[in-house]
Amino acid sequence: MRNKQTIAICFVIAIICSMAASAEAVEASNDNLQASVESDTLNEHFEKISIDKSDRLNLRSFDSIKKYDFVTVDPIAFQKDANSGEITIEIAGEDFKLELEPAIYINEGDTLAIHNETGLYEIEMPEIYTYNGKVVGYPESKTRFTVSDTGLVGRVEIGDIKYIIERAGYIERDGKKTAVNVVYSNVDISPSGTLPSSDDLVYDSTETSDTFTSGELSTQAIASSMISTQSTKSATTVDLLAIYDGEFRDIFGNYDDCCNEIYDMMETVNEVYSSSDIGVNLDITHVVRDTGLDETNGTALLNEFRDRDDFVKEYYNCDIAFLYTGKEIDDNVIGKAYKYDTTPNKAYALAQMTPGNSTYTADLDDRSMVVAHEIGHVFNAHHEDYNETPIYAKATQWTYLQVWDRYSIMYSQFQGIGYLGGMQFEFSTNTSTGNGDADHDNARSIREVKNIVAAFE
């Protein structure tokens, strides 16, 4: 008995030491970030700016972030240095030497179009590249930057600590408009407010001639079943139509910058969907700005989106259509999706890209998380309280270091993304490397229908 008590005491001490180490890391990060605030120039790629009262501002709110810098970005200089395979950047007062893989031209062959009252017409798509890599000296670290000629979004991750650079908006000074980014660390994010509504699933009985016949469905179901019983070695590609509205453009800027934001979010989303227990690659093939979406009620906006852009989805032969809206949706809702079935006209979902009066701050990770959640519904993944079939299509929660509550992507109410707790970029799964069990396995529910969704075009 005495040995068991000794083991228990040692375990508690280990947990306390871990928490103390985390606290020291947080304090160090805060000190470093404060140092960066006092510096006029972050580096040659990111230059800190001060906001004057005389400036005309169109900047997003960052009330949930305790410390941050506004910076201007030189994406062309960044690409020039990054293409060498090594680059040193300064974030939060620290220099990070990065080893980067060759750039990936992620939107090669994709199209950009405008859908307005006169119809649908295509315009020039900017070239967008991603740079993936690691921090020298930190084998478990990772970094990614999504870059066009006019903008840059990125992050550096070392353990639980993450440094993020994202678009903040723009200022107009002396008649000149300047794009502005914000730099911050996740240790300084402190979401507040009420939890958003969990009422994001729309049950819709509308059917179209696109509904699969029983024979077609049987073939798809057999293929899915075969995949679900074995380890997925290659991803099933699902073509995604990305649509954004005028309010999204008001937040993030011109066509190039809007595309940059969308592609970066989807890179994060794909990191989750491409995991070995799911095997899905969400491939943006077309980006469209729709100027005619007016509804602010979540269900009404989802219906309007489908009514207006169904022909666009069909014209471009896409499997899923997703709306990135800059509107603040009514009733504290931050996303909507149709309940999954085998009807292609249910493959529509949307997410709010602006914060509300809730724990949803709409920072880069928040937005990516809600996009992943709503797309999950398209693949028959559900909340923790789901009581329909399949019964295992449920989210889960767990405790990290015996202290912090964590939640999988499909958890019903958005809990915020904290430094050590909150929402996590993972689906519930019945595997030894994940979190979940036989009754909480959204990875399986996605895996079993992915071939059906991939045939929706």
Residue type at position 359: T
Residue 39 has pLDDT above 80, yes or no: no
Q: What pLDDT, on a 0 to 100 scale, did the predictor assign at position 340? A: 96
- Same domain assignment for residues 255 and 386: yes
The answer to whether 152 touches 165, Cβ cutoff 8 Å, is: yes
- Same domain assignment for residues 216 and 287: yes
- Same domain assignment for residues 352 and 388: yes
Q: What pLDDT, on a 0 to 100 scale, did the predictor assign at position 385? A: 96
Higher pLDDT, 126 or 230: 126
Confidence class of residue 234 from pLDDT cuts 50, 70 and 90? low
- Same domain assignment for residues 329 and 399: yes
- Same domain assignment for residues 248 and 141: no
Residue 108 has pLDDT above 50, yes or no: yes
Residue 215 has pLDDT above 50, yes or no: no
Find the range with the poorest average confidence among 19-23, 83-87, 421-425. Answer: 19-23
- Same domain assignment for residues 139 and 276: no
The answer to whether 182 touches 71, Cβ cutoff 8 Å, is: yes
Q: What pLDDT, on a 0 to 100 scale, did the predictor assign at position 94? A: 76
> How does pLDDT run across 263-294, given as a tens digit for each residue?
999 999 999 999 999 999 999 999 999 999 99
Instruction: Determine, yes or no, domain membership for 371.
Output: yes
Residue 418 has pLDDT above 80, yes or no: yes
- Same domain assignment for residues 297 and 228: yes
> How does pLDDT run across 140-181, given as a tens digit for each residue?
999 999 999 999 999 999 999 999 999 999 898 888 888 999
The CATH number of whichever domain residue 409 belongs to comes to: 3.40.390.10
Instruction: Print the SS3 string covering 76-104.
Output: HHHHHHHCCCEEEEEECCEEEEEEECCCE
Sign of CA dihedral 38, 40, 44, 49: positive
- Same domain assignment for residues 86 and 223: no
Percent of the chain with pLDDT over 90: 71
**Taking residues 362-380, what's their average pLDDT?**
97
Instruction: Determine, yes or no, domain membership for 9.
Output: no
Structural domain ending residue among the three candidates 188, 215, 238 = 188
**Taking residues 187-213, what's their average pLDDT?**
78
Q: What pLDDT, on a 0 to 100 scale, did the predictor assign at position 207? A: 57
Find the range with the poorest average confidence among 64-68, 314-318, 394-398. Answer: 64-68
- Same domain assignment for residues 329 and 403: yes
Find the range with the poorest average confidence among 129-133, 176-180, 362-366. Answer: 176-180
Instruction: Determine, yes or no, domain membership for 341.
Output: yes
- Same domain assignment for residues 209 and 162: no
How many domains does the chain contain in total?
A: 2
Instruction: Determine, yes or no, domain membership for 13.
Output: no
Residue 30 has pLDDT above 90, yes or no: no
Instruction: Determine, yes or no, domain membership for 433.
Output: yes
Confidence class of residue 91 from pLDDT cuts 50, 70 and 90? confident
> How does pLDDT run across 310-331, given as a tens digit for each residue?
999 999 999 999 999 999 999 8
Q: What pLDDT, on a 0 to 100 scale, did the predictor assign at position 235? A: 83
- Domain around 212: 201-454
Average pLDDT taken over every residue of the chain: 86
- Same domain assignment for residues 213 and 168: no
Q: What pLDDT, on a 0 to 100 scale, did the predictor assign at position 180? A: 93
Q: What pLDDT, on a 0 to 100 scale, did the predictor assign at position 43? A: 62
Q: What pLDDT, on a 0 to 100 scale, did the predictor assign at position 161? A: 94
Confidence class of residue 425 from pLDDT cuts 50, 70 and 90? very high
- Same domain assignment for residues 136 and 258: no
